[in-house]
Homo-oligomer: A and B are copies of this chain.
């Protein structure tokens, strides 16, 4: 299965993600595991939305943000793996934080925006474990932040 082609078929163009400005890395590989930092829904230098889901932002807007977190994560996975997603063996885990008010209980629906895209691209290899959790506030007031743990094939 050619994940790069699949992504292209979905009309998602590879981007050139900006390095974090602080003293941390977007990714690190240890053994056969690729760790990614928390991704936020930045596109062309700004967040798709800011604020809280369930208080001004809809579930659908939250899902769009979750999807953008995946797209940004894929850009870093590609960089980490020498320009192709095809060394990915499986998406192991994602942890998704959703900025929301007290009493909001639809974090899973929001994070489905990420999960659905991963399975569209990677098929069974994209099925992952996850935790969806509410957060009082996220960096830059973005509504969604997701980090990723990915199994990779040795070599290349």
Contact = CB atoms under 8 A, between A and B. Distances in A.
A116 B115 CA distance: 33
A133 B135 contact: yes
A137 B138 contact: no
A67 interface: no
A35 B132 contact: no
Contacts of A100: 136-137
Interface in A105-140: 105-108, 112, 115-116, 118-119, 127-140
Nearest to A115: B23
Sorting the interface of chain A by its residue count into under 10, 10 to 19, 20 to 34 or 35 or more gives: 35 or more
B24 A128 contact: yes
A147 to B, nearest CB: 5
A112 B24 CA distance: 9
A127 B35 contact: no
28 contacts: A22-B112, A23-B116, A23-B119, A24-B127, A25-B127, A25-B128, A28-B90, A28-B92, A28-B93, A30-B33, A30-B151, A37-B129, A38-B130, A97-B133, A99-B134, A100-B137, A101-B102, A101-B137, A103-B137, A104-B137, A105-B141, A106-B139, A107-B137, A107-B139, A108-B139, A131-B147, A132-B139, A133-B145
Interface of A: 22-28, 30-33, 35-38, 52, 89-90, 92-93, 95, 97, 99-108, 112, 115-116, 118-119, 127-142, 145, 147, 149, 151
